[in-house]
Every structure is written in C-alpha cells, then in structure tokens.
Amino acid sequence: MTAMILKNGRVVHHDSIRREDVLIENGRIGAVGKALPAADGARIIDCQGKLIFPGIIDPHTHMGIPIKGGWSADDFTSGSRAALHGGVTTIIDFTILEPNQSLHDSIAARQRAAAGSMCDYHLHCNLTRFDRNLLAEIPDLIAAGVSSFKVFTTYREAGMMLSYGEIEQVAEVLAEHGGLLMVHAEDDAIITAAQAPLTAAGHIAPFYHGLSRPDRAEAQAVAAIAGIVERTGCPAYIVHLSSAAGLKAAAAHLELLLETCPQYLLLDESRYRRSDGRMYVASPPLRRPADNQVLRAAVLSGRISVIGTDHCPFHLQDKHPDIPFQDIPNGIGGVETLFPVLLAEFVRHGLDLSLLTRLLSTNAARVFGLYPRKGLIAPGSDADLVVVDPERVTDDWQPDLIGDPDWNAFDGFPAIFPELVIRRGVPVDRKGRISDVPPGEFIAAGSAALPF
Ligand code: URP
Ligand code: ZN
Ligand code: ZN
C-alpha cells in the first residue's frame, strides 16, 4: 500500500486542534507532527485550509432490519457506502436474535449479513429474549470481543421486551464479566396506557405517535435502569435519549452514559403535522423544541457523551400515508448526514470542534472498546480520516446522497460534506464519488474506557 502524507491541515483531536502533518503507512497512522518529511514515493495530499477529523463512528445503526412487516431501506452495503460518503468509517450495528437462536449464532448470522459492509463494523448483541442459556453465553462473548448487550424496556408486542427484573439479572452477569448494558429506555406500561385511549378514539394520524409515547415513559425507564445500575454496579448506556424528562431522570446518576441522535437535537414534533409527517415516526418520537434545547445544552456540557444516528430509514412507500400511526414502521435514517449536518451546525455557532470529535468518534471508540485503534489520530491507530473544508457549506446536498432511501429527515439543513475520506489508509471518497474499496472488517472490542 502506498504511503500517503496529509500536509498542512489542522488536525481536530479530542483535546486540541493542531496544525500537523499526518503520515499514513500500511493502513495505519505512522506519524503525526510538524513538517513531517515525505517518505520516498509517498503520495502527498495538500490539506491547506482543511480540517482533519478522525473517522466518524456511528455507534447506532440498523442496516436491513425487519420492522412491522417492512425492512429498513439500507442494507450493509448501501448503508456503509452512504456512511463513507458522510465521513463515517466505522458503524456499530445490532444483532437480530431469532426464536430459539443462541447469541453466538445471532452474532455469526449478523456478521454474514455485514460481509458487504464497506465501513469497518462492530456489533452490539441484542438480548430480546430472557433465557438463562443466553446469559450463560455472555462471558464467552465478552472474551471474544462483543461486550455491549442491548435490552428493550418496550416493544412488548413485538416480543422484544425484557422486564426490569430480567434486565437486572442481565446486569448482574454483565457486571461480573465486564460487559456494558445498553438500553432502549421507554416504559412499556406507560406507552400502553397512553396509546389505548388514542386508538379507542380512532386516532391514526402520525401526530398521535408522539402522544402515544410520552416523555414520562422515557423518564420512568431511565429511572428504573439507574436503580439497576446502582444495585448491580453494571455500567449502562442509554441509547437515543430524546427528552428533557429522560435527561432529568439520569441527572443524578453520572454512571449512566448517554447517547442522543441528531433528530432529537434538530427536529421537533411539529414535523408530524407536515404532509410527510409519517416519515418522522420513530421511537422515541420527536419531542418539543424545549427538549431540543435541553439536550443541546447537555451535549455542550458533555453530560451526553455520544451522538449516534439510530439509522433505520424507510422508503416513502414503506410508510404509506394510509397506514395508521400504530402500524407505521418505526425509524429515521441519518448515517450519511450525521457528520456533515452537525459539522455545519458547529461551524455556524462557533462551537468547539474537538467536542465534535469526542461526540462523533473518540467517545464511542472508548465506550465500546475500539480505542485507541479507532477514534484517535496518533501513531499506531487505524488511518481512518476525514478531510473537510469548513468553508464549503451547502444547502443543496440532497441530490448527491447515495444511500438507498428516497427521503431524508434533514432536508434544508446546511451541511459540510467531506472532501476526502480515508478508511484504513485507502481513500474511499473524493468529491462525493465512491470508488471500490476492500470490504470493511469486524473490529473486536477490547477494554472499554470512560468517555472524555
Ligand atoms: O424507531 C426506531 N428507533 N427504530 C429502530 C429501532 C430502535 O428502537 O432503535
Ligand atoms: Zn431503540
Ligand atoms: Zn435503534
């Protein structure tokens, strides 16, 4: 593999921004420093005026999964290409646990599905059934590099929910063996009680989706998980936190790691009133503008330490206007726009770009045991790099999207798409064109660390 050197750029580390050159050798970062000499035959890329970020990590994607009779629009191949277009070089997706299947088999099946991924990838293990045989598999899986286990406090009807008592037993096992509990936190009983009168009254419009999943359901579930964490000592990570009430329930529990998504920072429930309102149906739902504000403040303060997308897009046809909100496949996409849209927001508001590096790369790498291989620009780390021109803000980026979905949630937001994306030393995207690159690899988790 030809050596490459990125010259004269400003490197956006998690703790500082420095004018440095970056040498890439054999897929890894060989050196980072001032005025590095170019090795013989090295390709030189002038990054004057450009910013260099570590490859973005999206720790929450659902490529090609079945939901309510439909399939999410991107599979691993189309979704990972779209990811690369937007600067995401590593995705972390979820296994799908079939009836009677072991966790080991669910992981092997998902790895086969992910064979076409162009990004490197890692997997969280979904525990959507409580069974002592499954718990017995956990130590072995952690030793083999799958250490985050996701449970749901809702989706009872879909057969995916665990009771709080069952989750506590999972947490005990994880605490003993060094695993991480991931939680989709919405209390199912509150949702059932909120949805029943809406259904009885014949409400089917998308707006009622939000009313059927109130923020107190999130607060209740977060509080219950906080109790479990306190009693078991198991580290826990709340996925897609959506509301001020949920954040408040977590406030006194700093041991709860928090993730949110761009849709909960930038979009609000008024979207459900639009003609394409059904397309925004996701769980948790979009909230009020005040929730956006509170979550933004928590992102800026570092209390929310990771932003993922919950990438689960659908075609317009999959969410046909005639479908009542109760039956609309849940999910919104965003892996392709995650970094471009947030970068433009950070630049527009003059925010600390090192914070963006922590939120979109370093912290996910640390929490999920991929650090320092991922999430860091330093000698020995994988050469996953994103070069951007902070001046190249555009509103007209939708026609250039390459993902499979025919609709996206962030239309109208300014965005800064990468000039160049490098995945393990291979340039994969230049000026929006995707060339053939070797497939991505499964990256096993090592030791996890707290976010910065
Ligand atoms: O609506 C959503 N979020 N769909 C994807 C599955 C999940 O709950 O994360
Ligand atoms: Zn979820
Ligand atoms: Zn999800």
Q: Which single residue is written with the structure tokens 């593999």? A: 1
In angstroms, what is the span from residue 162 Cα to ligand 1's centroid? 16
Q: For 265-323, what is each residue's pLDDT tens digit? A: 999 999 999 999 999 999 999 999 999 999 999 999 999 999 999 999 999 999 999 99
In angstroms, what is the span from residue 382 Cα to ligand 2's centroid? 29
Query: Does the pLDDT at position 434 exceed 80?
Result: no
Structure-block tokens of residue 277: 């309102």
Instruction: Using most ligand atoms within 8 A of CB, pick from 161, 310, 311 the residue to mutate for ligand 1.
Output: 310
Per-residue pLDDT, averaged over 361-380, amounts to 98
Question: What pLDDT is recorded for position 430?
Answer: 61
For helices 244-251 and 289-301, what crossing angle results, to 10°?
Answer: 40
- Contact between 446 and 377 (Cβ < 8 Å): no
Q: For 71-81, what is each residue's pLDDT tens digit? A: 999 999 999 99
Q: For 230-274, what is each residue's pLDDT tens digit? A: 999 999 999 999 999 999 999 999 999 999 999 999 999 999 999
Determine what percent of the chain is predicted with pLDDT higher than 70: 99
In angstroms, what is the span from residue 387 Cα to ligand 2's centroid? 31
The total of other beta-carbon atoms located within 10 Å of residue 133's CB is 8
The total of other beta-carbon atoms located within 10 Å of residue 87's CB is 29
State the pTM of this model.
0.98
Long-range CB pairs of 264-267, under 8 A, 24+ apart, other chains included:
264/240, 264/291, 264/292, 264/295, 265/292, 265/295, 265/296, 265/299, 265/307, 266/292, 266/341, 266/345, 266/410, 266/413, 267/292, 267/409, 267/410
Picking from 74, 125, 70, 84, the residue whose alpha carbon sits closest to that of residue 333 is 74
Per-residue pLDDT, averaged over 151-155, amounts to 98
- Per DSSP, 361 falls in state I
Say how far apart CA 78 and CA 67 lie, in whole Å.
18
Query: Does the pLDDT at position 432 exceed 80?
Result: no
Longest dimension (CA), the chain: 74
Residue 93 bridge partners (DSSP): 123
Q: For 187-236, what is each residue's pLDDT tens digit? A: 999 999 999 999 999 999 999 999 999 999 999 999 999 999 999 999 99
User: How does residue 431 score in pLDDT terms, banded at 50, 70 and 90?
Assistant: low
Rg, Å, the chain Cα set: 21
Residues with CB under 6 A from ligand 1: 62, 184, 282-283, 310, 312, 330-331
Query: Does the pLDDT at position 41 exceed 90?
Result: no
Region class of 28: left (phi > 0), else alpha (psi between -120 and 50), else beta: beta
Say how far apart CA 323 and CA 316 lie, in whole Å.
12
Question: What pLDDT is recorded for position 437?
Answer: 81
- Contact between 30 and 41 (Cβ < 8 Å): no
Question: What pLDDT is recorded for position 438?
Answer: 87
Please give the number of the atom of ligand 1 that sits closest to the Cα of 312. Answer: 5
Picking from 409, 230, 229, the residue whose alpha carbon sits closest to that of residue 332 is 409
